[in-house]
Amino acid sequence: MLGPLPDHLLAGPDHPRVDNLADRITRLRRACPKGQIVLVGLSAGTGIVIHALERLPVGISVDYVVLLSPSISSRHDLTRALQHIRYRLYATSSPYDMILAAAPSAGLEGGRPAGQVGFQTPRIFTSGKRELYEKVVNLAWRPEYAAWGWDGGHTSATNSDFIRVVIAPRIMDEQPHPLDASIVER
């Protein structure tokens, strides 16, 4: 009833959907241990996805995570979430996302939303953290994406052509996509 702003501001770890999603992932993985699980979140929903991953029990994982226009903080420590991702986490970002330009990061965590600037690497890598962060791939908006419907705006990253041409090939194969570059410098 109040629109998207309350969801955006309340998309932190205490949001009621976080435990629901974590429980659902756990049930799915236990029911089908070899099945592929891909999580996709949009805007404030990306915070729900990340916090749900952080709540998963040891040994429970998903294969891929796709965050479209993530409003979660670009500085959020992804370590606990990445421990539950087998392959990669993709996050779209665009400086032309005017919704995120006018909003604080979801959950009021601080830092600019990742959907504007991409996820940042931690200032200090502790043991094992570097390897986890190698799974993170920022997909920054490029003019050629407009041909597939993502004009850099907040919700146009959900365009079916963009998903089919840019996102789907990345989650169909365990091998890294040839155009992917991890946010971790080698």
User: Each residue of 44-57: pLDDT tens digit?
Assistant: 899 999 999 999 99
Residue 25 lies in a domain: yes
Asked, for residue 34, whether it belongs to a domain, the answer is: yes
Q: Is the pLDDT higher at 101 or at 89?
A: 89
Cβ-based neighbours of 138, under 8 Å, separated by 6 or more: 91, 93, 114, 118, 119, 183
Which strand (E) or helix (H) includes residue 68?
strand 62-68
- Tell me, yes or no, whether 75 lies in a domain: yes
Residue 183 falls within a domain, yes or no? no
- The amino acid that residue 155 corresponds to is T
Residue 185 lies in a domain: no
**Does residue 20 form part of some domain?**
yes
- Taking the CB of residue 63, how many other CB atoms lie within 10 A of it? 15
Question: What whole-number percentage of the chain has pLDDT above 90?
Answer: 68
- Contact predicate 47/72, CB 8 Å: yes
Number of domains in the chain: 1
Mean pLDDT over 111-134 rounds to 88
Q: Give the bridge partners for 136, in sequence order.
A: 89
Residue 176 forms part of a structural domain: no
Q: What is the pLDDT of residues 152-179, one digit of tens each?
A: 999 999 999 999 999 999 999 888 888 8
pLDDT beyond 80 at 3: no
The edge-to-edge listing of strands for the beta sheet with 38-42 is 38-42, 62-68, 85-93, 136-140
Domain membership of residue 17 as a residue range: 4-141
CA distance 32 to 122: 34
Task: Give alpha helix (H) positions in the chain.
Answer: 4-9, 16-31, 45-54, 79-82, 98-101, 114-117, 129-133, 160-162, 168-171
- Is 70 exceeded by the pLDDT of residue 12? no
Asked if residue 51 belongs to a domain, the reply is yes
Residue 1 is predicted with a pLDDT of 42
